[in-house]
A and B are shown apart, each in its own frame.
Chain A
Amino acid sequence: MIKLINATKYYKTQGKNKYILKNTNLEIPSDKNIGILGRNGSGKSTLLRMLGGIDFTTSGDIVSDKTFSWVMGLSKGLQPAMTGRQNVKFVCRIYGKDEEQIREISNYVKEFSELGDYFDMPIKLYSNGMKSRLSFSLSLAFDFDYLIIDEILSVGDASFKKKSENALKNKMKKCNILIVSHSMDTLRNLCDVGIVLHEGVVTYYDHIEDAIQSYNRLNKAPSKKILCSDGAIFDNIKDAAKHYGVKPKSIQQAMTQNNGSNVFLKKVFWFEGTQKPEFQEWQNVVENETIIASDGIIFSSSKEAYYFYADLHKGIKLEPDHIEKVLLKDGKSDKLKINFKYLSEYK
């Protein structure tokens, strides 16, 4: 549990106090993955740092009995003149690990980050991607109650991205995350609850979707109509999804990840005022891995699908390999009442 008691934080800018928190009383329950939303400069990162114990309130308190990681994503804490291994050892020593554990963690980081020989070379020779790979692997090697992630999540090339996403999801079984992100997809994927920061006012939402909606209202993004290739016009994604009988995520996926082409409906969606895109097949299909469900959603692996449905239907008991088993048979899941198919076989 994280408790904010009368927490106030402000910066002085040109004689005026700019508030990030103003007399905030808030209680965030345990075991929730928390997404923090807010416009640029509203103090999201400062709030993260305060929760992580490396920044402090001007008055009031932030109390928690949990352990927090360092702020992930920025590779600021790495010393350029030292090798990757030395940097890893340094962090291990700060956290009071003994030699045996240090060796284990170094080996794990070397393997996971795929740095190879570069692991024993000074950090100043690293590219940005290598640096972030190192610091990402390093933060996975420790056990915290909360991982603090600032913006940057997926780093490196496509294969590493996938690997790190899976590793993070595995990690999230044991710990929770606190994340700042401008990517609503990431937040929807990872978070349970949301916090919206706006001009010193902190609002807590029990569901991330509510937080996102209130954030969108803050942004006053003019709601554009959505057009479909069969001529229909919708106010928002939800209406469109209802109309075609698929999950909203399906259409959202199409619009954000596949230039508007929905493979399941064989239709193209685009925003009012933009050009109509051509229909195309799903990008990056991996044979015997990418799955399409009968509610229109595409998953990059059966594991991802499992996480999604396990989260969605908390009442139904799913085994982790349920979807894999179903796929081996005929693809029909009686529990979920959904059919699964490999995208490569889907016509």
Chain B
Amino acid sequence: MKKRSSFAIFKSSIFALFLRDMYDSVGIKKIGYFWLFFDILFVVLIFVALRGYIRGIDIPGLDFIVFLTINLMAFYFFKSTVKLITNSLSTSKNLFDYKQVKPIDVIFAKFLFNFFIRILATFVLIFVGYYFEFDMQVNDFNLVLLSVVWLGIFSLGIGILSAVLATFFDFYKKMYGYMMLPLLFTSAVFYTVGSLPPKLREIILYNPIVHFMEMLHGSYFYVLDTYYVDYMYMTYWTIIPFFIGLFLYTKSEKNIIAS
């Protein structure tokens, strides 16, 4: 067997794992493609349906359903990425029997797969939005794109750190589910930071996800702005967990494979 460079192995392994995730979640029946998106769109559907009953949280000058949808898509992109990556190491243990497959390959493949199907789901939503003639005009498309990609890298970093911690601390693995729970309500998904009372605003701005949300909807809608977004704070939160995660990973890669 001819020797391959480690980058070639990394590439082929990620490609194989990506397709494997695809096969695995779609299955062999055509209905699988439906479930692939339904999973993602379900949350949005629920909240939009709830919105029909709960009035009075409108923001003047924009369509609140669009606001809710993009926030939820972004937030669940973050949440599912972290969750998938955290769980990936324990669910893919069998794969480490092939020595070409390293845990980091699994992590990257899961991330790319999740990113990919969420982009597809976004296209579905855009299509639906146009069909029902929602007002979906974008203020600054480049910033929106940047915020989504940035959010992706941020969640990848948090995910790697979380995955390494979850393999070695049972306590963390148990607690992590609860830590994710309040995030939905403290991440500026249902409101803008500007609409909050100043004292609450100060506290909530410590949550890094708030900044991503603010950046996203601030640059999407004409009537909102990115006044409260602290780009340095976001950069710290992106770089530091990413590097701590990678550092811990390189230290413990062998343990993860052998465990």
B140 on the A face (CB < 8 A): no
B residues in contact with A93, CB < 8 Å: 12-13, 15-16, 19
Given contacts A54-B97, A96-B8, A96-B12, contact A82 B23 (CB under 8 A): yes
Shortest Cβ distance from residue B25 to the other chain A in the assembled complex, whole angstroms = 8
Q: Which chain B residue shows the least CB distance to A68?
A: B99
A346 on the B face (CB < 8 A): no
Given contacts A79-B24, A83-B28, contact A94 B258 (CB under 8 A): no
Contact A56 B257, beta carbon cutoff 8 Å: yes
Q: What is the interface of chain B mostly: helix, strand, loop, or mixed?
A: helix
The proximity string for A residues 71-92 relative to B, scoring 1 for CB distances below 8 Å and 0 otherwise, is 1001011010111001001110
Given contacts A54-B97, A54-B99, A94-B12, contact A79 B258 (CB under 8 A): no
* Size category of the binding interface on chain A: 20 to 34
B94 on the A face (CB < 8 A): yes
Bound Cα distance A98, B1 (Å) = 14
Bound Cα distance A68, B15 (Å) = 22
Contact B24 A94, beta carbon cutoff 8 Å: no
A52 on the B face (CB < 8 A): yes
Contact B19 A54, beta carbon cutoff 8 Å: no
Shortest Cβ distance from residue A330 to the other chain B in the assembled complex, whole angstroms = 46
Contact B95 A77, beta carbon cutoff 8 Å: yes
Bound Cα distance A145, B3 (Å) = 12
B34 on the A face (CB < 8 A): no
B201 on the A face (CB < 8 A): no
A248 on the B face (CB < 8 A): no
Question: Which of B1, B98, B258 has a CB less than 8 Å from the CB of A77?
Answer: B98
Contact A90 B257, beta carbon cutoff 8 Å: no
Bound Cα distance A82, B8 (Å) = 25
B residues in contact with A67, CB < 8 Å: 1
Contact B98 A91, beta carbon cutoff 8 Å: yes
B residues in contact with A60, CB < 8 Å: none
Bound Cα distance A90, B109 (Å) = 13
> Once A and B bind, how many residue pairs between them come within 8 Å at the CB atom?
69
Shortest Cβ distance from residue A139 to the other chain B in the assembled complex, whole angstroms = 11
Shortest Cβ distance from residue A131 to the other chain B in the assembled complex, whole angstroms = 13
B203-252 CB contacts (< 8 Å) to partner A? none
Q: Which chain A residue shows the least CB distance to B259?
A: A55
Bound Cα distance A71, B96 (Å) = 11
The proximity string for B residues 101-125 relative to A, scoring 1 for CB distances below 8 Å and 0 otherwise, is 1000000000000000000000000
Contact A70 B98, beta carbon cutoff 8 Å: yes
A142 on the B face (CB < 8 A): yes
Contact A81 B97, beta carbon cutoff 8 Å: no
Bound Cα distance A144, B100 (Å) = 14
B residues in contact with A121, CB < 8 Å: 28
Q: Which chain B residue shows the least CB distance to A67?
A: B1
Bound Cα distance A71, B98 (Å) = 8
B5-35 CB contacts (< 8 Å) to partner A? 8-9, 12-13, 15-16, 19-20, 23-24, 27-28
Shortest Cβ distance from residue B23 to the other chain A in the assembled complex, whole angstroms = 5
Given contacts A81-B24, A81-B27, contact A71 B16 (CB under 8 A): no
Shortest Cβ distance from residue A188 to the other chain B in the assembled complex, whole angstroms = 28
Interface centre among A49, A68, A90, A144 (most CB of B within 10 A): A90
Q: Which chain A residue shows the least CB distance to B258?
A: A55
Bound Cα distance A13, B191 (Å) = 53
Contact A94 B100, beta carbon cutoff 8 Å: yes
B residues in contact with A74, CB < 8 Å: 97
Bound Cα distance A306, B257 (Å) = 43
Bound Cα distance A109, B159 (Å) = 38
Contact B20 A79, beta carbon cutoff 8 Å: yes
B residues in contact with A200, CB < 8 Å: none
Shortest Cβ distance from residue B44 to the other chain A in the assembled complex, whole angstroms = 26
Bound Cα distance A68, B9 (Å) = 15
Q: Which chain A residue shows the least CB distance to B99?
A: A53
Bound Cα distance A70, B19 (Å) = 21
B residues in contact with A90, CB < 8 Å: 16, 19-20
Contact A122 B28, beta carbon cutoff 8 Å: yes
The proximity string for A residues 95-114 relative to B, scoring 1 for CB distances below 8 Å and 0 otherwise, is 11000000000000000000
Bound Cα distance A183, B97 (Å) = 24
A31 on the B face (CB < 8 A): no
Contact B257 A96, beta carbon cutoff 8 Å: no
A143 on the B face (CB < 8 A): yes
B4 on the A face (CB < 8 A): yes
Bound Cα distance A145, B99 (Å) = 15
Bound Cα distance A49, B259 (Å) = 12
B residues in contact with A54, CB < 8 Å: 96-99, 257-258
Shortest Cβ distance from residue B104 to the other chain A in the assembled complex, whole angstroms = 14
Bound Cα distance A71, B254 (Å) = 17
Bound Cα distance A82, B21 (Å) = 10
Bound Cα distance A26, B83 (Å) = 44
Known: A91-B98, A145-B1. 16 other contacts (CB 8 A): A49-B258, A55-B258, A70-B99, A76-B94, A77-B95, A77-B97, A79-B20, A79-B23, A82-B20, A82-B24, A86-B23, A94-B16, A96-B9, A96-B12, A122-B28, A144-B1
Using CB atoms and an 8 Å cutoff, list the residues of chain A in contact with chain B: 49, 52-56, 67-68, 70-71, 74, 76-77, 79, 81-83, 86, 89-91, 93-96, 121-122, 142-145
Q: List 12 A-B contacts (CB under 8 A).
A: A54-B258, A55-B257, A56-B257, A70-B99, A76-B97, A83-B28, A91-B98, A94-B12, A94-B16, A94-B98, A95-B12, A96-B8
